[in-house]
Amino acid sequence: MIYITFPDGTVKEFEQPVDGMAVAKSISEGFAANCVAMEIDGNTMDLSLPLKKDATIRFITASDPEAVTILRHSAAHLMAQAISHIYPKAHFTIGPVVENGFYYDMDMEPVSEEDFAKIEAEMKKLVKAKIPLQRKEVSKDEALKFYANEPYKSEMISDLEDGTITFYTQGDFTDLCRGPHIPHTGFIKAFKLMKVSGAYWRGDPEKPQLQRIYGTAFFSKKELKAYLTLLEEAAKRDHRKVGTALDLFSFHDDAPGMPFFHANGMEIWNSLLAYWREEHRRAGYVETKTPLILNRVLWEKSGHWENYRENMYTVVIDETESAIKPMNCPGGMLLYRMKRHSYKDLPIRAAEIGLVHRHELSGVLSGLFRVRAFHQDDAHIFMTPDMIEEEILGVLKLVARMYSTFGLGFHLELSTRPEKSIGSDLQWEQATNGLASALDAYGADYQVNKGDGAFYGPKIDIHIKDAIGRTWQCGTIQLDMSLPERFDLSYIGEDNEKHRPVMIHRVIFGSIERFFGILVEHFAGKFPLWLAPVQVVILPINDHLVPFAAEVKDLFSAAGLRSFIDDRTESLNKKVRGAQLNKIPLIVTLGEKEKANNTLAVRTLDGKVSYGVGRDDFINAAVSNILARKLEMDVLA
C-alpha cells in the first residue's frame, strides 16, 4: 500500500504495483488520455513508470508549458523511426529539443526538403498507429552490445555511467534516450519538418558531417498553424525585403557584409542619431571620435592583437602594421590618458558613434543583423569604485527611456565571473555587487547567468522584445577591469594619491545597423512619423494643381516636414496605392476644393481620410507628433 499526494493536497491509497497511468485513470479515463507525463516529487518522468513508494504527484497535460518539450522530443524519435524505415542505412546520433521544435542529426545520404513529404507521410502513418513508447533500463554492456554497429551511439554510451542508461522503444525502433516521453505516438497530432542542414558530429569540423533535419510539433493543428503564421509574418517583415522595397539600403558583391545606406535609409539613420544625441547630452555624456586605423602596438597593448586578431582587418602603412578598429575602447583609453584626472572630474561619460570592422565568417553574414562593418553607439564611463551603482543605474534608466520611445519592452540579465578570468576576488565582488545593487535599485526582475561574464568583468545584457514577440540582445553594460590596468589609467583621489578608475563599456542600440534592421521588422516598415523617410506625400489631383502643390510643399518644408509631390500624370488611385505601399504616413490630396478653401484632404496609413483639414492645424499636429516622437499617428485626432 502506498500513498500518493495530489497537487490539491488530497491523498489516495494505491495497491502495489501501480504506475502513473493507473493513478491518472483513477481520476478519470478522459483525464488519463490527456496526460503526457508526470512529475514525481519534482522529477518529470514517464507515466508508465511504476510507483514504489509514497510520493507527491502532478500530472503534465498538453496545457502545461513543459508538455510541448516532451512532445517535441518524442516527435524527434518519431521522425527518426520514419527515417529508419525509408533510409535503412541511416545512423542516428542525437535528437534534442530546441527553441521552436526539435532536430535529429543523422549520418545518412544527403536529403533535401523535397524528401520531407515522404518522411512526413511515414510519420503520419506511425502517429495513426498510436505506437506506445516503452522505457527500459539497460546495463552499459547490454547497451553497447545493442549498438555494436552504431558508432555514434556507442561513443555516447561510453561516456555514460552504468546504471543510468535507458532505451525507449516504439514498435520496431529503439533509441538511447533519457526521456521522458509521451505515452504513445498518437499525441503528435500536429508536426512539420522545417529545414535540413549539415552539422558536424559533436560540432567538430574534423568529425563526420551529418544531416540535420529540423522539425516542430504541437498538440494541436491550431497551434502549429499559429506558429507557421508567425513565421510568415516575420518573413513579410524581413528587413532585407522591406529595406529593398522602401529603398532604404542595399548590399553589393563588391563589399560583402558592408551595407550601403540610401537616401531614405539615411533619413531614418539621422533621425535615430539625432534622438540618440539628444538623450545622451541630457544624460551628461560628451561625444568623442577616434580614428579608424590604429597602430599594431596599441592593439598589442590592449590585448586585442593576442585575443581578437583573427577578426581584425590589418593594413600596412609606411611599413608599419596597423589594424582597422574592431572596437572603440583602445582609442577611448588614449583620450582618457590625455589629461590628469581628479576624482572631482569623475564620472566621465565619453560616448562615441564608432565605425568598427570585424571579419566575420562569410557564412554567418545576414542582412543588417550580422555585418562586417557597423557603428556602435559606444560609451566609456570612467569612475571611482563607489560610483558603480549610481552610474549603472543611470545607464539602465537611459536604456528604459530610449527603448520605450520605440515601444520595445526589454528584460535584463546579469552575467557573473567565468572560470577563466583576470582580477582579484575582491575586485570581482565589488564589481558584481555594484551591478547587482544597481539592478535592484532599478527595480525590475533580472536573470542571473552564472559564469557567463567576460573574462575582464561582469556584465548586464539587455534583451528587447519586438512587436511580434521576438527577442534580441541589443544593449550591454560591461565592467572592464582589464583595460584600465593595461593602459595604466589613473585619477588623483581626495588623498592626493593615484588610483585606478573603474571603467564600463556600454551600448544601447548596440550595432546601429542591426538596431535599424530590428526597427524595420518591429514596425514592419511603417515607421512612426519622426522616423519616416518621407513624412508627407502631396498628391495634386490634376496637372494644373502642381504649382499649388508646390506652394503647400513650401509650407511643409518651412515647418521642417519631409515631403514630396507626386506629380506623375497618373490616376489619384494609383498614386494613393503607391504611397500606401511605400508606407508614407501622411497623404495630402489637393484638389480645387482645397485650393479654394486653403484646406487639405489627409489620408493616414490606416486608410482613413479627413477632408477640410486646416493647413495650420495639420502642420502643428504633425510637428508636435514628431517633436514628441510619438508612436501613434494622432494628426487627425
Partner RNA sequence: GCCAGCGUAGCUCAGCUGGUAGAGCUACUGAUUUGUAAUCAGUGGGUCGGGGGUUCGAGUCCCUCCGCUGGCUCCA
Select the residue interacting with RNA from 195, 221, 281, 309 (CB under 7 A): 195
Q: Is 459 annotated as catalytic?
A: yes
Task: Give which of 542, 537, 509 is closest to 604, Cα–Cα.
Answer: 537
Burial 300-322 (b: 16+ CB within 10 A, else e): ebbbbbeeeeeebeeeeeeeeeb
Of 181, 372, 459, 583, the active-site residue reads: 459
Nearer to RNA (CB atom), residue 132 or residue 385: 132
Q: Give, for 474, the enclosing helix (H) or strand (E).
A: strand 471-480
Of 72, 358, 506, 603, the active-site residue reads: 358
Nearest-angstrom CA–CA distance, 596 and 619: 19
Nearer to RNA (CB atom), residue 457 or residue 540: 540
Select the residue interacting with RNA from 10, 149, 496, 573 (CB under 7 A): 573
Q: Does 112 bind RNA (CB under 7 A)?
A: yes
CB of 176 to RNA, least distance (A): 4
Nearer to RNA (CB atom), residue 7 or residue 208: 208
Binders of RNA among 42-101, rule CB under 7 A? 94-99
DSSP E strand stretches across 127-189: 134-137, 166-170, 173-176
Q: Does 198 bind RNA (CB under 7 A)?
A: yes
Q: Three cell numbers at 282?
A: 541630457
Q: Does 468 bind RNA (CB under 7 A)?
A: no
Enumerate residues 6+ apart whose C-beta is below 8 A from 483: 302, 329, 330, 333, 456, 489, 503
Nearer to RNA (CB atom), residue 320 or residue 447: 447
CB of 244 to RNA, least distance (A): 5
Nearer to RNA (CB atom), residue 145 or residue 222: 145
Q: Does 196 bind RNA (CB under 7 A)?
A: yes
Q: Say if CB 86 and CB 122 are below 8 A apart.
A: yes
Query: Of 342-350, 477-485, 557-565, 577-585, which segment contacts RNA by CB under 7 A?
Result: 577-585
Of 325, 329, 372, 480, the active-site residue reads: 329
Nearer to RNA (CB atom), residue 437 or residue 610: 610
Q: Is 525 left (phi over 0), alpha (psi -120 to 50) or beta?
A: left
Of 46, 105, 377, 378, the active-site residue reads: 378
Residue 328 DSSP label = S
Q: Is 445 annotated as catalytic?
A: no
3 state SS of 503: strand
Of 376, 427, 478, 535, the active-site residue reads: 376
**How far separated are the first and last CA of the chain, in Å rounded?**
72
3 state SS of 565: strand
The pattern of x and - marking residues 529 through 568 that bind RNA according to CB under 7 A reads ------------xxxx-----------------------x
Q: Three cell numbers at 122?
A: 511515414
CB of 139 to RNA, least distance (A): 12
Binders of RNA among 596-625, rule CB under 7 A? 601, 603, 607, 609, 611
Q: Is 380 annotated as catalytic?
A: yes
Nearest-angstrom CA–CA distance, 386 and 501: 10
Nearest-angstrom CA–CA distance, 139 and 164: 8
Q: Does 207 bind RNA (CB under 7 A)?
A: no
Binders of RNA among 358-387, rule CB under 7 A? 361-367
Q: Is 125 annotated as catalytic?
A: no
Binders of RNA among 161-190, rule CB under 7 A? 164-166, 175-178
Residue 481 DSSP label = S
Q: At what angle do helices 425-442 and 388-405 cross, to 10 degrees?
A: 40
Map 591-609 to HEC letters: CHHHHHHCEEEEEECCCCE
Q: Does 570 bind RNA (CB under 7 A)?
A: yes
Nearer to RNA (CB atom), residue 96 or residue 284: 96
Helix, strand, coil distribution of the chain in percent, nearest 5: 40, 30, 30
Nearest-angstrom CA–CA distance, 22 and 32: 8
Task: Give which of 103, 101, 9, 16 is closest to 56, Cα–Cα.
Answer: 9
Q: Does 151 bind RNA (CB under 7 A)?
A: no
Nearer to RNA (CB atom), residue 207 or residue 222: 207
Binders of RNA among 212-271, rule CB under 7 A? 212, 240-241, 244-245, 251, 253, 256-257
Tell me how many residues contact RNA (CB under 7 A).
71
CB of 228 to RNA, least distance (A): 15
Nearest-angstrom CA–CA distance, 563 and 547: 15
Q: Which active-site residues does the annotation give? A: 329, 358, 376, 378, 380, 459, 505
